[in-house]
A and B are shown apart, each in its own frame.
Chain A
Amino acid sequence: MTRVLGASALLVALGASVAALVLTILGARRERPTWLAAGYTATFIQFGMVTAATFAMIYALAAHDFSVSYVAQVGSRATPLFYTVISLWGALEGSILFWAWVLSLLTALVVFWNRERPGALIPYTSATMLGTGIFFQFLLVGPANPFGLVSPVPTDGPGPNPLLQNHILMGVHPPLLYLGYVGMTVPFAFAIGAMASGEVNGDAWIRLSRRWTMGAWAFLTAAIIAGMWWSYEVLGWGGYWAWDPVENASFMPWLTATAFLHSVMVQERRGLLRLWNLNLIVATFALTILGTFLTRSGVLSSVHAFGEGPIGFYFLAAIAIVLLLSFVLVAGNSERLSGDGRLEGVASRGTVFLMQNLLFTAFCFTVLVGTLFPIVAEAARGVKVSVGEPFYNRMTLPICMALLFLMGVGPALPWKAADRETLRAKMLPPVGGALVAAVLGLLAGARNPYAVLAFAFSGFAAVANVGEFVAGARARMRQRGEAATTALSRLVNTNRRRYGGYVAHLGVVAVAVAITASATFKSEHEATLAKGQSMRVQGLDIRLEEVWGRQEPQRAVIGATVAVLKAGREVGRMDPRMNFYPTSQQPIPTPAVRSRAWGDVYVNLMSFKQDGSNATLRVIVEPLVPWIWAGGMIICLGALIAMVPAPRRAPVESTATERAEREASGTPSAPVAAT
């Protein structure tokens, strides 16, 4: 029953999407408001239908309805309810259903909020999103149908992949990733809509999609950080990033999207980079599709290769169509795309944005080459190769250093060319910050030049970005006699976009410092301990207390309890575990992590004697690692500040000093600046 309901809902959704696409395009072309309205109604219907199908699947999972093929594939009666429900995105068909649902939701929202806007931009934008939705809905009724028939109906299933039911972060990381990935469809659709409707020169598409882009980017950032966290907490190797092809797949669109978020400002302020921005957002969208292809096609062997099948071909075809369509549209609009402004001087913020963009693009290209090289090498020469860390380090470390540096230089520079005096005054404090950070790094024992440089540039960027808050608040205090906190909060409130950006920069600094510190000062110790024996790790004694085991409904657990002693006194207990799932050939580790602001003590149970008399433990001391996660949250907070609309102000409040301030920073006093 559920199966039939879900399958029919998907069929109706596909029909409604096609109808909506046709009605919307024809309605816009022939200027028939009734057709357009009907198209929008059909858009809402397809959202309702995909929602119904998604709920049907969640219900089937929760009710263990093994007559539904997807449930038979990933369900199991022994799996706890939480992991049963989140196995919605645990394998191929379910994750495509979830993707289609998020996309249909975003499509409906874009239409709902913009339907009154005159002109053809919104219809074509909506049509682009519908077209993308049709692709996923086609996969769902065809090659990736989650509501397939199973006969005979099994009494129980194998349960989700053990790696996916071992940590709560699996309930967080995939939805964030999909919201980020799918969210990038919105600015892409606006770009296509702008080109198709001829509204490409007005920059309206950028203003209308700015918050969407910012939101999608924040979700993508959070997803990448959550993925790192998951890999740190579950895989048991004490690391968080391995340049795994699938990590790369989510990182590449992040790089181009980050470039885009910065370069649209150049377009808004200076009327430049129109063509470049279109290409960036097309590339971002194509990279999200490529990422899905890499993850879901099985062309790469990776920890993420959960689903294999003929789906890959469809994704390749989709990428080809996206690139072809975009190319045709860009070519058709090239006359309208010439810039009408120009950058003023080398030492200006615009130049920094330009360099930053080139670096992000080069970064993305490097990751792309490293990711695809093994596929090309195997196809062309028949050799199996992998591109490891040395390649990425050699290529991307210099880029990262330059980006950190620019992150400090950019905010300090005005849009107009800076004169020498301003430049010196602005750069002095950050240079001091860089020196202090470098000395601290050296004192802590860093000898690798890249590490010292990373600390220095992080200090530089931190002081530069904090300096913007301090300078802005001071100006308000001086000019209006406001108290420090009032001045600071009003400063941020009146230009959320700018100061949200600086908050995000500070988050990036936190991540950069944490990664550098953990890579530089990490220490690993491994030993086999008998019960009661201890090992000494950086001033701590780790004593093995007990090896124990217990049977849980869906798995068997073996754990070791260890006591952490500081100067002979017990300060805490940890229990690293191994989980044995019936469907897994090897145990899934659950390391125990003791987090403090200065860093983590990470204990992993490597092996144990069957009689419980001894166990081999790996203890890793990871300085500052929690700051990677915290930094990620600060970045998202920055994005949130930049997204929230500024409170409506009475015209009185926009004083002359404020206008003067804006003039000074090069903002045109046109209303554009407020968005």
Chain B
Amino acid sequence: MSNATGRRTATLVIATVIVVGAFGWLMLGNIEGDVVYFYTPQELLAKGDAAYDRAVRLGGQVAPGSVKWDADALDLRFRVREGTSEVLVHSKGAPPQMFRDGMGVVVEGRFRRDGVFESKNLMIKHSEEYRAPKPGEKPQEMYRSLIKGGSTS
């Protein structure tokens, strides 16, 4: 390898290190700001002041009897529960059709200082999307009642 080639290689290596370094810093230096943490209600409440006004995901169950859905105003309120801790969630827009008490949910949004979690995105938590119905669960019959309800055509 001639001297000139060696120098060129060295320049190339240094340039690559600088570019890759700058890029890596740009990426990882700020990644904390782009990361969304997942909390249970208990974990969220335990964070105190640090819980407010940052994007998080909150996971738990829909507390039985807490759902208030105003179809005309498209306004949904319910509590997310995990153990004994509960957080009040407010969301705009229709809940998924099968949304109901006791269901596992994940809401994405911000916890406001007035103690209400403002949700931008409501997701149903299901065991990897897909499982056979448990004994005693008869989804078929549930659907049948829906069909009877709708005017069949």
Contact = CB atoms under 8 A, between A and B. Distances in A.
B15 to A, nearest CB: 11
B36 A586 contact: no
Given A551-B144, A583-B133, A546 B128 contact: no
Name which of A303, A549, A550, A610 has the most chain B CB atoms within 10 A of its CB.
A549
Contact of A549 (B34, B130, B140, B152): B152
Interface in B49-70: 55, 57
B45 interface: no
A383 B37 contact: yes
Contacts of A612: 149-151
A365 B26 CA distance: 13
B32 to A, nearest CB: 10
Say whether chain A's binding surface is mostly helix, strand, loop, or mixed: mixed
Contact of A362 (B23, B30, B145): B23
Interface residues of B, number: 46
Given A548-B150, A556-B147, A578-B97, A161 B57 contact: no
B101 to A, nearest CB: 14
B94 to A, nearest CB: 4
B150 A306 contact: no
B74 A528 contact: yes
Contacts of A305: 128-129
Nearest to A617: B94
Interface string B120-153: 0000101011111100000110111111111111
B23 to A, nearest CB: 6
Interface in A512-564: 526-528, 546-551, 556, 558
B74 A526 contact: yes
Contacts of A618: 93-94
A546 B34 contact: no
B28 A369 contact: yes
A7 to B, nearest CB: 26
Say whether chain B's binding surface is mostly helix, strand, loop, or mixed: mixed
A606 B94 contact: yes
A271 to B, nearest CB: 14
B126 A586 contact: yes
Contacts of B95: 607
Contact of A556 (B28, B131, B143): B143
Contact of B130 (A306, A377, A547): A306
A139 B140 CA distance: 37
Interface string A588-624: 0000000000000000001111111010101000000
B38 A385 contact: yes
B114 interface: no
Contact of A386 (B38, B96, B98, B128): B38
A583 B132 contact: yes
B71 to A, nearest CB: 4
A161 B129 contact: yes
Nearest to B57: A386
A586 B96 contact: yes
B135 to A, nearest CB: 14
B99 to A, nearest CB: 8
Contact of B37 (A161, A365, A384, A582): A384
A301 interface: yes
Given A387-B35, A586-B124, A162 B74 contact: no
Interface of B: 19, 23, 26-28, 30-31, 33-38, 55, 57, 71-72, 74, 93-98, 124, 126, 128-133, 139-140, 142-153
Given A527-B74, A556-B144, A616-B71, 16 more contacts: A162-B130, A305-B128, A306-B130, A386-B35, A386-B36, A388-B36, A546-B153, A549-B148, A549-B149, A549-B150, A586-B124, A606-B93, A607-B94, A607-B96, A610-B145, A611-B150
The 6 A-B residue pairs whose C-beta atoms are closest, nearest first, are A610-B149, A391-B34, A549-B147, A606-B94, A384-B38, A556-B143
13 contacts: A306-B130, A362-B23, A373-B31, A386-B35, A386-B38, A387-B31, A388-B34, A395-B26, A548-B150, A583-B132, A586-B124, A587-B98, A607-B97
